[in-house]
Amino acid sequence: MIALLWHLAQAAPTGPDAPIPTPELVFQPILPELALCAAGILGMLYEAFARRSSRSVHLAIALAGLVAAGVTAIMLWSWTGAPTVLGDAVAVDRFSVVATIVLVLVAAFGCVYAWHESGRAEAVYRGEFYPLLLFATAGMTLIVAANDLIVVFLALEILSLSLYVLTGMGGRRSNEAAMKYFLLGAFSSAFFLYGVAMAYGATTSTKITTIVAALAGQTGSQALALVAMGFLVIGFGFKISAAPFHMWTPDVYQGAPTPVVAYMSAATKVAAFFALIRVLDVALQPLTWDWTPIVYALSVLSVLTGAVLAAAQRDVKRMLAYSAVAHAGFILAGLTSANTTGIRAAMFYLIAYAVMTVGAFGVTMLVATKTDEPSSYDSYDGLAARSPGLAALLTVFLLSLAGIPPTVGFIAKLTVFGAAIAAGNWPLALVCVLASVIAAYAYLRVIVRMYFREPRGAVTDDRAVVPQVAGLVLAVTVVVLGVFPRLLSGIIEQASILRW
């Protein structure tokens, strides 16, 4: 599949003789998206025409598409062509390559979790889960490489529509969560589209590289550019779950199927933040002094709101949802340093967060209860006695989310706090440290219940070998990257320089 796609991309025709000038069709940079869409279409055809579809076949198709996307993305690491292709609509740089690889890996873990969950007798998952996940991943990989705000919007809608359907695949509560997600998502998309329109009005272009040139040369309307900045930040704020645009997060995380939440919580945040970094640090770079205070304020609101409300929850999935709000604030704190230091800090934190949260939700999926609240704290009472392995894995992930050494979460917090302090924003770093202490209570509370409470009628899926192996791989990654962060930071240093 990879060889065929690569051959077709190199043999793509161009249109120099056309009456209207057309851009050169260079398909190599979008081969990851083509591979994901091809696998998604294949999965849909299999589901439609197979007499009785097999979840293992769906998993094989999805993993094949993800592997193809990952390999073709790695091939772009040494790209020597133009920094933008397809009419300057897609950027080709190592920044997008790193994001694509992370998204592909998160999607692979999501597929594995879904494969396990669909094997349960009470599961309600269907074969279209895997194609939808692939289409959502294609939208995410496109948004991180988009060099045009119109392409960003289209990719945003591709990933959002797929996630709306995936969220509703778990019964009545999932339907409620999907409806809330859809309504608020449509509202935020309108804000984002207004921002695109204002950006066009300010600079007569929606291309990121053209916008920065117009603003730097002061040939565009400064007032309209500031309005565009506000609308775009609101649109991105919804996707990254930053307060006060986080209201959908706890209900969606609690109601959606756990494999979907594991995928969505990490992948959506990675994709949205990488796109936000490109918009802020490239398109709106001349307005740094204007958008930095906004990012500062969103960071303070997010870390305080997320930490305080996470500590007040009695449901693990809701606690992790508010935790996601706080972590969005930590990443925004790093972005207040509007330079490569802030970009590197945000990239490191995003990758670390993806590993931690996918692992945490993977363990949550394996812990069940006989009550009507499948993720209540009561389900974790005495987990260490019932399943020491799962308790140990969850402990590693929770300690990393809390920022306790020697986990990667500690290094991630250290990098964003350092970036904020280097930019002179030490009060923000102090607020983030205090919020980390508050949030640590929510994580340690679960650990205490696992090791110092008696079991209360809960049951655990101890025979799930594949998800436990996946969790072990993630837990080892958390510790290894915490002890040897240069394994990751060395790659990030090369990828943090945006080409434009």
The mean pLDDT value for 95-115 works out to 94
Structure-token pair, residue 357: 């949260």
Bigger pLDDT: 172 vs 303: 303
Q: How confident is the model at residue 249 (pLDDT cuts 50, 70, 90)?
A: very high
Rounded to an integer, the average pLDDT of 180-199 is 92
For residue 18, what pLDDT is reported?
Answer: 46
Mean pLDDT of 129-157: 95
pLDDT value at 158 more than 90: yes
Cβ pair 68, 2 in contact under 8 A = yes
pLDDT tens, residue by residue, 402-455: 999 999 999 999 999 999 999 999 999 999 999 999 999 999 999 999 998 887
Quote the CA–CA distance of 12 and 25 in Å, as a whole number.
6
Domain of 341, in residue numbers? 287-500
Percent with pLDDT over 90 in the chain: 67
Q: What are phi and psi of 22, to 5 degrees?
A: -120, 150
Euclidean distance between CA atoms 140 and 128, whole angstroms: 18
Pairing of strands 84-85, 367-368: unpaired
Domain annotation covers residue 159: no
Q: Looking at the predicted structure, is the pLDDT value of residue 4 above 70? A: no
pLDDT of residue 376: 78
Q: What are phi and psi of 146, to 5 degrees?
A: -70, 135
**Residue 280 pLDDT:** 93
Q: pLDDT for 205-236, tens place per residue?
A: 999 999 999 998 777 788 899 999 999 999 99
Strand bridging mode 84-85 / 90-91: antiparallel
The per-residue pLDDT for 9 is 52
Average pLDDT taken over every residue of the chain: 88
Q: DSSP states of 298-331 as a string?
A: HHHHHHHHHHHHHHT-SBHHHHHHHHHHHHHHHH
Residue 57 falls inside a structural domain: no
What's the total number of domains in the chain? 1
Residue 221 counted as domain residue: no
Domain assignment present for 106: no
Query: For 338-348, what is the mean pLDDT?
Result: 93
Kindly provide the b/e burial profile for residues 146-182, where b requires at least 16 CB atoms within 10 angstroms of the residue's own CB: bbbbebbbebbbbbbbbbbbbbbbbeebbebbbebbb
Residue 428 belongs to a domain: yes
Question: Which of 261, 333, 275, 280 minimizes the C-alpha distance to 302?
Answer: 333
Whether pLDDT at 375 is above 80:
no
Q: Is residue 360 part of a domain?
A: yes
pLDDT value for 116 = 85
Confirm whether 327 is domain-assigned.
yes
Statement: residue 53 has pLDDT above 60: yes
Residue 67 is assigned to a structural domain of this protein: no
On the question of pLDDT at 264 being above 50, the answer is yes
pLDDT, residue 44, reads: 94
Mean pLDDT, residues 297-308: 96
C-beta separation of 258 from 361 below 8 A:
yes
pLDDT at 120: 65
In this predicted structure, the answer to whether residue 125 has a pLDDT above a threshold of 50 is yes
The pLDDT of residue 175 is 87
pLDDT at 8: 43
Tell me if residue 174 falls in helix, strand or coil: helix
Mean pLDDT for the stretch of residues 351-361: 95
Q: Which residue has the tokens 């069709």?
A: 25
